[in-house]
């Protein structure tokens, strides 16, 4: 839940910055700050072992998923309303559940599928997307959802093999390398407020990635998937603070559904774990 709060803050600040800066430049700023924070921690701790990955190939796959999700989501914030963007992006928890069953062979039952579906229904109540067509721009948040689901599954696979600091470091460095390649075609001069906001979104994103790695070391991907919807609650708070946007009654009802479905799925996941341990 802490990770989702960080991502909501980062997303809100990024939405603000899209009014003045190219999305790819915003993504680059996030990864610059991300990399600086992580490298600062490594230098301070003199923890040079964090530079070495035990499963480099899967780590790169994970990082590319994170980079793809970041770029596509910020691009969608530039082109689409926030509600529609959020609605399409939150297909990702459903993809995580399905991918966890296929790629990780995680145990599933009907109740957990229902919990994720209920969470998605709650998300729709919160965001109340419009019914008008979005055109090809709708592919952007969908691509972000696919990328994020791939990153989460890879995080679950690497979680027991890698230290959290290593995972966060590689995400920062790969993201920085990819987005730097786009700077020649996506750069605008920064003023002081934009620089401050850019640093803020980078710090929030870095903290979110750290919490994600810790979470997937301790719980299954499918049981944690519904908690992605908690980001919508945090997003409502960010919207109120930054944009003076107040959720309506349907949004509050949706938030309750999201939280209940998330905790139900976790309980079901723990039940499966207990059964496996008794076998």
Task: Tell me the pLDDT tens digit for each residue of 27-77.
Answer: 999 899 989 988 998 999 888 888 888 888 889 999 999 999 999 999 988
The confidence score (pLDDT) of residue 8 equals 78
What is the structure's pLDDT at 278?
43
Question: Strands (DSSP E) along 69-194, which ranges?
Answer: none
Nearest of 259, 261, 235, 230 to residue 246 by alpha carbon:
235
Query: Which pLDDT belongs to residue 248?
Result: 64
Domain spans of the chain, in order of start: 2-278
Q: What is the pLDDT of residue 133?
A: 45
Query: Do the Cβ atoms of 216 and 93 come closer than 8 Å?
Result: no
Residue 153 and residue 159: Cα distance in Å, rounded? 10
Q: From the CB of residue 43, how many other CB atoms can be counted at a distance below 10 Å?
A: 10
- Give the per-residue pLDDT at 28: 94
Q: Are 140 and 76 in contact (CB under 8 A)?
A: yes
Go through the chain and tell me how many residues it has: 279
Residue 27 has a pLDDT of 93
Both structure tokens of 268 = 């079901």
pLDDT number for residue 225: 61
From the number of C-beta atoms within 10 Å of its C-beta (0-12, 13-18, 19+), residue 79 rates as middle
Which residues of the chain register pLDDT less than 70? 81-84, 87, 107, 126-136, 160, 216, 220-229, 232, 235-236, 238-239, 243-248, 250-252, 255, 259, 262-263, 265-279
Report whether 70 contacts 33 (CB < 8 A). Answer: no
Q: Which residues of 87-114 are buried (b: 16+ CB within 10 A; e: fewer)?
A: bbbbbbbbbbbbbbbeeeebbbeeebbe
Evaluate if pTM is beyond 0.85.
Answer: no
> Can you tell me the distance from the alpha carbon of 15 to that of 26, in angstroms, rounded to the nearest whole number?
10
Taking the C-alpha atoms of residue 204 and residue 65, their distance in angstroms, rounded to an integer, is 18
Contacts of 165 (CB under 8 A, 6+ apart): 38, 41, 42, 47, 50
Phi/psi of residue 139, nearest 5 degrees: -65, -25
Residue with tokens 């995400």: 171
Q: Taking a C-beta distance cutoff of 8 angstroms, is the pair 58, 154 a contact?
A: yes
d(CA 129, CA 246): 16
């Amino acid at each position: 839940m802490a990770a989702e709060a960080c991502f909501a803050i980062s997303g809100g600040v990024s939405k603000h910055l899209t009014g003045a800066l190219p999305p790819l430049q915003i993504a680059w700023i996030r990864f610059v700050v991300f990399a600086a924070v992580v490298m600062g921690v490594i230098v301070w701790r003199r923890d040079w072992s964090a530079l070495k990955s035990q499963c480099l190939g899967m780590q790169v796959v994970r990082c590319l998923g994170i980079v793809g999700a970041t770029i596509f989501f910020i691009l969608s914030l530039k082109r689409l309303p926030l509600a529609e963007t959020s609605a399409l992006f939150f297909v990702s928890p459903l993809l995580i559940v399905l991918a966890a069953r296929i790629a990780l062979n995680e145990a599933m039952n009907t109740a957990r599928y229902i919990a994720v579906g209920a969470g998605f229904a709650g998300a729709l109540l919160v965001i109340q997307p419009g019914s008008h067509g979005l055109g090809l721009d709708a592919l952007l948040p969908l691509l972000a959802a696919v990328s994020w689901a791939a990153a989460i599954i890879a995080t679950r696979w690497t979680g027991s093999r890698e230290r959290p600091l290593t995972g966060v470091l590689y995400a920062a460095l790969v993201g920085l390398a990819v987005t730097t390649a786009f700077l020649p075609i996506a750069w605008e001069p920064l003023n002081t407020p934009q620089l401050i906001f850019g640093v803020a979104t980078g710090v929030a994103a870095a903290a979110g990635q750290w919490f994600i790695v810790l979470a997937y070391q301790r719980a299954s991907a499918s049981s944690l998937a519904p908690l992605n919807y908690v980001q919508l609650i945090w997003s409502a708070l960010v919207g109120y603070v930054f944009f003076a946007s107040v959720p309506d009654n349907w949004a509050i009802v949706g938030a309750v559904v999201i939280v209940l479905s998330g905790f139900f799925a976790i309980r079901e996941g723990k039940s499966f774990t207990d059964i496996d341990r008794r076998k």
